[in-house]
């Protein structure tokens, strides 16, 4: 497994490279935001761990350039920024998950492996075409969901669930499948946790022209409201 670590702190670089190497993860280092996209393209990593605070080009700019260039590698943001707004900006810019600093090394490894599994199971985006349901539009290039020209502000789990449903509009997606996508690698979470995410997402979809439906015994589906 190959990881591209975009991080400018030398001590962090060494610590993470040594720790993850013991778990058979080949860590390649990039310490400059301006060079990150080029190295990303050349290395073709399985996962990218991206720090938000970088010299010359910050993490959000790196991410935006990579997604615009068609690089679909799953991205884990590493951030010392504590605000929810910064995290939402990163996720809506195309990141797949985030991990606040300081973090536990075991959790870092677990999240990296979960992102790789999720990416492998999801398969390629069909033609990278935008998906539309009601007044919602999912852009695979950016990984964001838009409503009336603006980005719909969602938590990471709400976004993962909505994206899964928008890829199959009008078709039921089982609770088990949604659990795998929304809670990857989290063995201590019950299946019923999906219902909580559905409840919160349904409230945020009010007035968007898209309805989240529950089909007993089948799962959930998203459809345009009449």
* Cα 160 from Cα 179, distance rounded (Å): 10
The answer on 139 and 113 residing in a single domain is no
- Regarding whether 75 and 17 lie in a shared domain, the answer is yes
Helices (H) and strands (E) in the chain, counts: 8, 11
| pLDDT number for residue 126 | 41
3-state secondary structure of 68: helix
Q: Are residues 108 and 142 in the same domain?
A: no
Per-residue b or e along 51-72, where b marks 16 or more CB atoms closer than 10 Å to that residue's CB = bbebeebebbbbbebbbeeebb
Handedness of CA 5, 36, 48, 150 (dihedral sign): positive
- Print the domain residue range for 24: 2-122
Question: CA 212, CA 221: separation in Å to the nearest integer?
Answer: 6
Report the CATH number that the domain containing residue 116 is assigned in CATH: 3.40.50.2300
pLDDT attached to residue 43: 92
CA separation for the pair 157, 154 (Å, rounded)? 8
Cβ-based neighbours of 42, under 8 Å, separated by 6 or more: none
Given a cut of 50, the residues of the chain with pLDDT beneath it are 124-128
* C-alpha span between 105 and 109 (Å, rounded): 6
pLDDT value at residue 186: 76
What pLDDT does 84 receive?
63
Cα 88 to the chain's mean position, in Å? 11
Judgement on whether residues 164 and 189 belong to the same structural domain of the protein: yes
């Amino acid at each position: 497994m190959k990881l591209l670590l975009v991080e400018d702190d030398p001590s962090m670089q060494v610590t993470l490279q040594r720790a993850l190497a013991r778990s058979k993860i080949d860590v390649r280092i990039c310490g400059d935001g301006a060079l990150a996209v080029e190295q990303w393209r050349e290395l073709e990593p399985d996962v990218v761990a991206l720090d938000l605070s970088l010299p010359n080009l910050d993490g959000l700019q790196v991410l935006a350039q990579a997604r615009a260039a068609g690089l679909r590698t799953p991205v884990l943001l590493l951030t010392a920024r504590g605000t929810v707004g910064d995290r939402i900006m990163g996720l809506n810019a195309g990141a797949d998950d985030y991990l606040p600093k300081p973090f536990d090394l075991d959790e870092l490894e677990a999240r990296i492996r979960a992102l790789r599994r999720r990416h492998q199971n999801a398969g390629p985006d069909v033609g990278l075409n935008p998906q539309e349901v009601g007044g919602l539009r999912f852009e695979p290039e950016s990984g964001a969901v838009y409503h009336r020209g603006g980005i719909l502000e969602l938590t990471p789990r709400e976004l993962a669930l909505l994206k899964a449903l928008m890829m199959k509009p009008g078709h039921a997606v089982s609770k088990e499948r949604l659990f795998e996508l929304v809670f990857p690698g989290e063995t201590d979470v019950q299946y019923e946790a999906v219902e909580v995410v559905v409840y919160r997402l349904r409230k945020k979809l009010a007035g968007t022209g898209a309805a989240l439906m529950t089909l007993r015994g089948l799962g959930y589906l998203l459809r345009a409201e009449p």
